[in-house]
């Protein structure tokens, strides 16, 4: 029974030992897989950190571009407002010029009417005044009759009308001259404003618009890079989380296998203890059988020695003592 038990124990220990080796290989394999995952995780984290740094750099660059765009747009709006004000001023000047031209036209018509009244001949106001004063002086110092008096008044009236007409003509001509000069001044100012508007539009506004367009292209390019970096970042984060999950899974599997390994080792230890006990039991049984065999041989030799002694033969005292010892042991 003990031999069978020992063989069964040895067989079970071999089975468990093979299972231990298999599980150890599994653990080593999973640990290698976990190490590979950890190495990949380290690379993914390093790449993710680099992408995040690039993303932050691009965001800072985008903020700078947007700030510059806002500055340029503000400058553009200022130039647009300036052009609008200059355009409004040119419109005002044009309207004023039209009004003055219309007035000059009317005064020229009035000038024509007055010229027609004085016969279209040029009138010298100073000579007219001198002539009137002379006639008035002569009239005061010269005796006159009613007919000459009447003629004097008619002449004076005619001369005063001519003088008034001359003064009106002078005022009209002065107004026309001043107004024409004002029109010319306004036209020159309007031309200067037009040139200034062209300079602002060509040299300033178009330049700032070109800068804005270039910055818009740069902004769109940066935004596109940020979108790509975000996509890469999200992909790396997903891979990082996936690797962490796989590593945790591998660690759980390794722990489970190590727990199983401990159980197997405990079971092996238990069976080894049982095997040791079985072997001790077997050794004790064998020892008892050997002792029994030796006692039996000693007893037989002692009996043989006693028989020979009774026959008068010489015998070995040890054999006879062995018989006595055997009897004593049995007692």
Give, for all 331 residues of the chain, the pLDDT tens digit: 444 477 888 888 899 999 999 999 999 999 999 999 999 999 999 999 999 999 999 999 999 999 999 999 999 999 999 999 999 999 999 999 999 999 888 888 877 776 666 555 555 556 556 655 555 555 455 555 555 555 545 655 555 566 566 676 777 788 889 999 999 999 999 999 999 999 999 999 999 999 999 999 999 999 999 999 999 999 999 999 999 999 999 999 999 999 999 999 999 999 888 888 877 777 776 777 777 777 777 777 767 766 776 776 665 666 555 544 444 444 3
The pLDDT assigned to 110 comes to: 77
Residue 241, both tokens: 């989380």
Distance CA 24, CA 254 (A): 10
Distance CA 312, CA 42 (A): 101
The pLDDT assigned to 331 comes to: 39
CA 294 to chain centre: 98
Residue 38, both tokens: 């950890």
Q: How far lies 93's CA from each of 79, 104, 189, 192, 260, in Å?
A: 21, 16, 8, 12, 101
The pLDDT assigned to 327 comes to: 43
**Nearest CA to 14 among 268, 259, 261?**
268
Residue 49, both tokens: 């950190």
Domain spans in the chain, listed from the N-terminal domain onward: 2-267
In the block, residue with structure tokens 């591998």: 250
The pLDDT assigned to 237 comes to: 96
* Topology (CATH) of 2-267: Helix Hairpins (1.10.287)
Give the 3-state DSSP-derived string for the chain, with helices as H, strands as E and coil as C: CHHHHHHHHHHHHHHHHHHHHHHHHHHHHHHHHHHHHHHHHHHHHHHHHHHHHHHHHHHHHHHHHHHHHHHHHHHHHHHHHHHHHHHHHHHHHHHHHHHHHHHHHHHHHHHHHHHHHCCCCCCCHHHHHHHHHHHHHHHHHCCCCHHHHHHHHHHHHHHHHHHHHHHHHHHHHHHHHHHHHHHHHHHHHHHHHHHHHHHHHHHHHHHHHHHHHHHHHHHHHHHHHHHHHHHHHHHHHHHHHHHHHHHHHHHHHHHHHHHHHHHHHHHHHHHHHHHHHHHHHHHHHHHHHHHHHHHHHHHHHHHHHHHHHHCCCCCCHHHHHHHHHHHHHHC
Q: What is the pTM of this model?
A: 0.60
The pLDDT assigned to 11 comes to: 87
Longest dimension (CA), the chain: 238
What are the φ and ψ backbone dihedral angles of 200, each rounded to 5 degrees? -65, -45
What are the φ and ψ backbone dihedral angles of 311, each rounded to 5 degrees? -85, -5
């Amino acid at each position: 029974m003990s031999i069978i038990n020992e063989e069964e124990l040895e067989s079970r220990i071999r089975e468990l030992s093979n299972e231990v080796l298999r599980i150890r290989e599994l653990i080593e394999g999973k640990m290698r897989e976990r190490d590979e995952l950890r190495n990949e995780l380290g690379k993914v984290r390093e790449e993710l950190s680099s992408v995040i740094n690039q993303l932050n750099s691009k965001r800072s660059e985008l903020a700078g571009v947007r700030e510059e765009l806002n500055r340029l747009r503000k400058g553009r709006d200022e130039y647009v407002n300036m052009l609008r004000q200059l355009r409004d001023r040119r419109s005002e000047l044009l309207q004023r010029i039209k009004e003055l031209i219309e007035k000059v036209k009317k005064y020229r018509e009035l000038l024509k009417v007055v010229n027609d009244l004085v016969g279209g001949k040029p009138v010298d106001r100073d000579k007219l005044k001198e002539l009137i004063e002379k006639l008035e002086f002569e009239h005061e110092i010269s005796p006159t009759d009613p007919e000459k008096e009447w003629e004097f008044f008619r002449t004076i009236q005619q001369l005063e009308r001519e003088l008034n007409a001359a003064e009106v003509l002078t005022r009209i001509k002065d107004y026309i001259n001043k107004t024409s000069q004002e029109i010319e001044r306004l036209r020159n100012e309007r031309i200067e404003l037009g040139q200034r508007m062209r300079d602002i539009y060509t040299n300033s506004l178009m330049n700032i618009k070109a800068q804005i367009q270039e910055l818009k292209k740069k902004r769109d390019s940066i935004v596109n890079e940020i979108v790509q970096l975000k996509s890469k970042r999200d992909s790396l984060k997903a891979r990082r989380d996936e690797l962490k999950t796989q590593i945790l899974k591998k660690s759980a599997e390794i722990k489970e296998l190590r727990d199983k390994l401990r159980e197997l080792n405990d079971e092996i230890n238990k069976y080894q203890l049982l095997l040791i006990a079985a072997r001790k039991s077997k050794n004790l049984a064998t020892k008892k059988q050997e002792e029994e065999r030796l006692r039996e041989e000693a007893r037989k030799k002692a009996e043989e020695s006693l028989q020979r002694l009774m026959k008068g033969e010489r015998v070995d005292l040890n054999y006879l003592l062995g018989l006595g010892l055997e009897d004593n042991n049995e007692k």
